[in-house]
Amino acid sequence: SQQGEEDPQALSIQEGENATMNCSYKTSINNLQWYRQNSGRGLVHLILIRSNEREKHSGRLRVTLDTSKKSSSLLITASRAADTASYFCGPLTGANNLFFGTGTRLTVIP
């Protein structure tokens, strides 16, 4: 399978806490991207990390990539109620396709 597999399937935290979700994949990648989906809407791109990068930051987001373990993690710091959504990782294959998993459903409780 070329898809990213997100873990955990669901995560519930209090506002202000940090949220960490993980992604595993099986193929060689050019980059790995994280997307968010709010209920009833399309996915929105959050952050991209290249295969030769190990860590990347964007605002309250921190992404790590370990190509030897074929895994990535997304950390959202100081979570807000508005962060409630489903999060998906997409490994970008050599054919420039993104394959997603079932996502992590994050609930941030105010």
**How many Å apart are CA 9 and CA 87, to the nearest integer?**
10
What's the Rg (C-alpha) of the chain? 13
Nearer to another protein, 3 or 79 (CB): 3
Contact residue for another protein among 22, 24, 27, 30 (CB under 8 A): 30
96 binds another protein (CB under 8 A): yes
State the binding string over 51-80 for another protein (x if CB under 8 A, else -). ------------------------------
Token digits for 50?
A: 């290249």
SS3 category, 81: helix
**How many Å apart are CA 37 and CA 64, to the nearest integer?**
20
Number of residues located near another protein, criterion CB under 8 A: 24
Contact residue for another protein among 29, 33, 65, 83 (CB under 8 A): 33
Residue type, 28: S
> What does the binding site for another protein look like in residue numbers (CB under 8 A)?
3, 30-31, 33, 35, 40-45, 48, 88, 90, 92, 95-103
